[in-house]
Amino acid sequence: MNEYMRKAKENADMGIAKGEGGPFGAVIVDIDGKIIACGNNKVLKEKDPTAHAEIVAIREACKVLGTSDLSNCIFIYFM
């Protein structure tokens, strides 16, 4: 398991431990290998059926980068 997959798994485990949602985690990495954003499933916490790990991570990455264009990023998902 590479470092990005480990980080996605850590996010999934943390989300379960906090009761935020199901066992899902996501990481978004730029082309240089820097982690831009992480997410875990927050459907239960937010009472939002769209708060899946990948969506949480995408929203965070867009905030961090100040753009909706994530074409230079890599998406890692753990379930």
Catalytic site residue 3?
Answer: no
Q: How far is Cα 32 from Cα 2, in angstroms, rounded to an integer?
A: 15
Q: How far apart are CA 25 and CA 57, in angstroms?
A: 9
Of 3, 20, 46, 54, the active-site residue reads: 54
Distance, first Cα to last Cα, the chain: 13
* Residues catalogued as catalytic: 54
